[in-house]
Amino acid sequence: MMFDAEIIIIDPEDEYKTLCQALDGEYVTFSKSSEVKINPFALMSEDLTEAQLGIKILSLHGLLKTMLGEMSPTQEAILDRAIVLTYKQKGISPDPATYKNEPPILEDLYKTLINMEEPEAKDIAFRLEKYVKGGFSGLFNQQTNYDVKNQLTVFSLKQL
């Protein structure tokens, strides 16, 4: 903070709450029922570089592999194709001018996978379903409604 760095902390056990309050940071409790929603597909409209979409797709792979567990190389390839197609259906391409279009949400990826012909795609969709229609549906299936404005922001995940 002394060097004016923006600090974002993911706090799974509420260990940073006191420190955050002492430093006048913003403490956001993130849960299924929280008002704060984060869309992992969202692109930053300030970063208009061609590389942003590719970097976002790579980070989505990491998130989805964490959410869905082990995947075969075939499933990973199908997931990659589905993510690219999901962005394309929203009019978003590697052209930075398209980054201002409304980004897809998790349900859009789910629908893309369901409509693909490969049985592996449907398997991935069924594994994703709990985050779209099931018990975890309030987490990542809406447009982002939160903007990090404080130099120190802590996201509490304890209620997850």
Give the pLDDT score at 19. Answer: 95
Give the pLDDT score at 148. Answer: 78
SS3 153: strand
- Mark 36-65 as b/e (b = at least 16 C-beta within 10 Å): ebbbbbebeeeeeeeebbeebbeebeeebe
Fold of 51-132: Helicase, Ruva Protein; domain 3 (1.10.8)
Alpha carbons 131 and 138: distance in angstroms, whole number: 8
* Each residue's pLDDT expressed in tens, for the chain with a length of 160 residues: 889 999 999 998 999 999 999 999 999 988 777 888 889 999 977 777 888 999 999 999 998 998 899 999 999 999 999 999 999 999 999 999 999 999 999 999 999 999 999 999 999 999 999 999 988 787 788 998 888 788 999 989 888 7
Domain coordinates in residue numbering, the chain: 7-36+150-156, 51-132
Q: Are 109 and 82 in contact (CB under 8 A)?
A: yes
Q: Which residues pair with 27 in a beta bridge?
A: 154
